[in-house]
Amino acid sequence: MRHRPPLLLPLFVAAALVAGCAADTGVQSKRADTAAPATNGSAPGTTGPASTVPGSVPATEPGSGSTGDGVGDSLFPALGNPGVDVQHYDVHVTYDAVTDQLQGDVTLSVHLSGDRPTFSLDAAGLTVTAVTVDGKPAKFSTDAAKLRITPASAPGSSVEVEVVYHVKPTTAPSAVGIPDGWFNTPGGSYVLDEPDGARSWLPCNDHPSDKATYTFTITVGSGVTAVANGVQRDHRTENGHEVWVWQEDRPMATYLIQVLTGAYDIVEGTGPHGLPLVSAVLTADHATMQPFIDVTGEQIAFFEKYFGTFPLDRYGIAITDSFSGLAMETQERSLFSRDDFSGGRLDPSTQLFLSHELTHQWFGDAVTPARWRDIWLNESFATYGQWMWGEHVGNGSVADSAAAALASRPPGSSADPTVDQLFSYNSYDGGAVVLQALRLTIGDASFFQLLQQWVIRNNGTSRTTDDFVKLASQISGKDLTKFFATWLFADQPPSSFPAAA
């Protein structure tokens, strides 16, 4: 069975594998029509969709003055802002799905390091009308990628920065060449921000190395529901509008933000050891989607046996009216497309989507990559979790999934993707192969202890591949330098797995 052509997500390749099309490795070729031209992070993206769509900024921007403005991400040199460490975002947005107009007012609690008479935030295509720092009007300017702020007087090390802005949100191809940002749907909206879409609707420090807590106050039309990460704090009616307040208390990267507006039902339940479950499904879909809501607790209990206690405060699923193939590990409530779940049945494909994004809550959300090149710490681990759940429900063993992935693996290190390879085979199945080889090398006990310790020690922070490599040697008591050199960092890993330890 083939799905309709994969839109964007390599998850579809994995789905095809589950469905028995193990030879399909055509991620790159299938994405070629929508992908930005290949760039290695230093090659300027001067042609192709990414540089021509408003609100989208290529990974590097020749002549824009903002190249290298960022925090030194080798794949996205413009992202992030030196000296800026956001502690909390108090986000207020008013959204009208008919006019597709967003008005925003965000207050960022920021730690500034060093002596900074000026500092910047990521903001792409926003019309900024006012900025204050500690309540005093500040000078500001915007360009394609940045909001540059000069406070009236020398700022202290902790400041409150308020930005008032508006935007007609764009669903632009990101620097990766697949769309991200704020998507307008019939009667509502959703966001898919990975890797660089948040800045197209929210002034922020748009880099995974800077996690913060959030409050979202979302004002929508009468009868419309708004959902965001975390716990619902309020819902009131004001001047014929609905105001929804959600709060995320766990440190979160900007790319993991969830904002949904539309005709949603919020479905509450309880998971293992009293874990609150909060899901959101379109009212019209509620009955169809109930089986997927119902399996959530069981999936969490399964993964807790291997990955340790669920690392965040709650979980749930949100199923929106996006294009098919969308699946995103938005923190504490993963996002899916109704088109992929319209059958209302737990089949290999829906099991795969659900288990993949749930695994991300440990690997990606609780512990976040410090740099985009560390993406395998997200996608390979989520792919491995998806294999484990597949084995559990009788959709093929981990060993078979790993063998098929190794056989299909194109050359290239999973730890060193180019921008256009961020969501390609070796970030997903190719890196899950590395985890299977590691498991065989150090044994099940050390392997799962490593995964648990990775999350326990690093929950709430952003980490690099080197951090994982170090912890692996420490936990296993083995010098794994040669293992990682061979399996992770080399362009071409061995063609067969090591014998089990």
The contact set with ligand ARG (CB under 6 A) reads 8-9, 11, 174, 178, 180, 192, 194, 327-329, 356-357, 360, 379, 382, 423
Distance (Å, whole) CA 242 – CA 235 = 7
Binding of Zn ion at residue 398 (CB under 5 A)?
no
Binding of Zn ion at residue 382 (CB under 5 A)?
yes
Residue with tokens 């029509």: 33
Minimum Å distance from CB 7 to ligand ARG? 9
Q: How many CB atoms within 10 Å of residue 243?
A: 17
280 phi and psi angles, rounded to 5 deg: -140, 120
Binding of Zn ion at residue 253 (CB under 5 A)?
no
Distance of CA 284 to the CA centre of its chain: 27
CA atoms within 13 A on the CB side of 461: 10
The neighbouring-strand residues paired with 346 are none
One character per residue 420-439, x = contact with Zn ion (rule: CB under 5 A): --------------------
Stretch that binds Zn ion, among 32-40, 58-66, 194-202, 382-390 (CB under 5 A): 382-390
Minimum Å distance from CB 194 to ligand ARG? 4
CB-based contact 428:381 (threshold 8 Å): no
Nearest Cα neighbor of 131 from 156, 115, 148 is 148
CB-based contact 315:300 (threshold 8 Å): yes
- Among Zn ion, ligand ARG, none, partner that 252 touches (CB below 5 to 8 angstroms by kind): none
* Member of 242, 379, 429, 467 binding Zn ion (CB under 5 A): 379
Report the residue count for the chain.
Answer: 501
Of 244 and 423, which has the nearer Cβ to ligand ARG?
A: 423
Of 140 and 201, which has the nearer Cβ to ligand ARG?
A: 201
Binding of Zn ion at residue 352 (CB under 5 A)?
no
- Among ligand ARG, Zn ion, none, partner that 124 touches (CB below 5 to 8 angstroms by kind): none
Nearest Cα neighbor of 88 from 251, 197, 311 is 251
CB-based contact 360:384 (threshold 8 Å): no
Of 174 and 349, which has the nearer Cβ to ligand ARG?
A: 174
Binding of Zn ion at residue 193 (CB under 5 A)?
no
- Among ligand ARG, Zn ion, none, partner that 180 touches (CB below 5 to 8 angstroms by kind): ligand ARG
One character per residue 127-156, x = contact with Zn ion (rule: CB under 5 A): ------------------------------
Minimum Å distance from CB 229 to ligand ARG? 15
Minimum Å distance from CB 270 to ligand ARG? 26
Nearest Cα neighbor of 355 from 284, 307, 414 is 307
297 phi and psi angles, rounded to 5 deg: -60, -40
Nearest Cα neighbor of 229 from 245, 205, 206 is 245
